[in-house]
């Protein structure tokens, strides 16, 4: 615990130092490229956001060691904000800190930022938000698929495993018609499971579990956050159900295991939107592992790899565009296709650069 606190404190000081360096550099007329991250203060994504940016910072530090973006050093500015402060804080970062890209913003801050006319007018793109929500804003570029794609892909994978009775539970904040659309889409493609039961999570997970458990589904997909996922799993276990509990990429596995408790013996499967950071064979996975060890001395995770991939994409696309693009030109430069090392992000056909999904088994204990 003590070492973790020291490491986090050191990282916070490093972030402060980079922010100060960025402001000083601009004061001196340096062409530094400033990346800004805005995260929700005290939000549920705090741990994920921290790890995502740790991976991104490793990629940026690596680029800086090689000369930055065509000679422009990359600087980071990070802030926390309440939901109601998101737009004003973002504009202050743009005006005061000279942020050119908003990078890795929290999911709950994204709607206000994505629809802000002030941010759009300044031609500041939002790259790699920590969200699987849908957004039609043309200045938002997601480096991961949306939640609906995750659910469809998870369902198809479960069918490949031979599972023929699957339940889908839509949690709070998810479209209650999501399951119906899923059933319709799969039916049109001839991919409907033998039985696909649809449920909506209300205020009582126990009541829902009492309805689901007697049907004995082989797997239950939970379209919800960590609390929804773990609460449903715990309630199902009390009803004697121990099938596969499937969660989206928004679920924190460590917290979910704590809520489920040591007595939970069902299977835990979680969606990952990047290759396995431990056993993946892509070159970017190997490079990320080596850089994490070299520059941060921390183990890799799905979150750090996601940040590393997004940051590497940013560096590569701006280098390819000449390095000194800004405003509308910068946004256009990001709407490209880059292989970051056996993993491709493609924004030439829309604002979703990747549809990569795989299921990962979570070890208990």
- Parallel, antiparallel or unpaired: strands 140-141 and 126-127: parallel
Nearest to residue 222, comparing CAs of 194, 186, 192, 260?
260
361 forms beta bridges with: 269
In sequence order, what are the residues at sequence separation of 6 or more whose Cβ sits closer than 8 angstroms to the Cβ of residue 32? 22, 25, 26, 72, 73, 74, 75, 98
Rounded to whole angstroms, the Cα distance separating 363 from 365 reads: 7
Predicted model pTM? 0.86
User: Which stretch of DSSP H or E encloses residue 359?
Assistant: strand 358-361
What is each CA distance from 122 to 80, 98, 333, in whole angstroms? 21, 11, 16
**Tens place of pLDDT for every residue, the chain, 365 residues?**
333 433 444 454 444 444 444 444 443 444 799 999 999 998 888 889 999 999 999 999 999 999 999 999 999 999 999 999 999 999 999 999 999 999 999 999 999 999 999 999 999 999 999 999 888 898 999 999 999 899 989 988 998 889 989 999 988 777 667 767 777 776 666 655 577 888 988 889 999 999 999 999 999 999 988 999 999 999 999 999 989 999 999 898 989 999 999 878 889 999 999 999 988 899 999 999 999 999 998 899 999 999 999 999 999 999 999 988 988 999 999 999 999 999 999 999 999 999 999 999 987 65
């Amino acid at each position: 615990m003590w070492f973790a606190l020291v490491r986090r404190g050191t990282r916070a000081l490093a972030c402060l130092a980079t922010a100060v360096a960025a402001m000083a550099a601009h004061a001196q007329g340096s062409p530094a490229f400033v990346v800004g991250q805005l995260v929700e203060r005290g939000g549920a994504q705090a741990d994920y956001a921290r790890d995502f940016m740790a991976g991104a910072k490793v990629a940026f530090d690596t680029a800086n060691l090689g000369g930055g973006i065509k000679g422009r050093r990359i600087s980071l500015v990070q802030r926390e904000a309440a939901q109601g402060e998101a737009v004003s804080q973002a504009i202050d970062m743009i005006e005061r800190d000279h942020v050119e890209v908003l990078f890795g913003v929290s999911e709950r801050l994204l709607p206000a930022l994505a629809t802000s006319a002030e941010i759009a007018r300044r031609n500041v793109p939002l790259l790699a938000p920590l969200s699987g929500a849908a957004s039609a804003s043309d200045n938002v570029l997601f480096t991961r698929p949306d939640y609906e794609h995750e659910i469809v892909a998870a369902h198809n994978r479960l069918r490949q495993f031979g599972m023929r009775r699957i339940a889908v539970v839509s949690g709070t904040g998810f479209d209650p018609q999501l399951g119906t659309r899923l059933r319709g889409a799969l039916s049109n493609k001839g991919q409907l499971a033998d039985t696909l039961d649809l449920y909506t999570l209300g205020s009582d997970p126990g009541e829902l579990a009492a309805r689901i458990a007697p049907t004995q589904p082989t797997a239950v997909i939970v379209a919800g956050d960590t609390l929804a996922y773990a609460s449903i799993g715990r309630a199902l276990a009390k009803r004697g159900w121990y099938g596969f509990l499937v969660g989206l990429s928004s679920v924190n596995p460590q917290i979910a295991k704590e809520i489920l408790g040591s007595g939970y013996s069902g299977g835990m499967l979680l969606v990952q939107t990047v290759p396995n950071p431990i056993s993946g064979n892509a070159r970017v996975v190997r490079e990320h592992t080596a850089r994490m060890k070299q520059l941060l001395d921390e183990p890799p995770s799905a979150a750090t790899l996601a940040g590393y991939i997004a940051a590497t994409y940013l560096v590569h696309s701006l280098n390819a565009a000449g390095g000194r693009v800004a405003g509308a030109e910068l946004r256009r430069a990001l709407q490209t296709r880059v292989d970051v090392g056996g993993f491709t992000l493609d924004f030439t056909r829309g604002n979703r650069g990747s549809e990569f999904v795989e299921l990962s088994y979570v070890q208990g204990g």
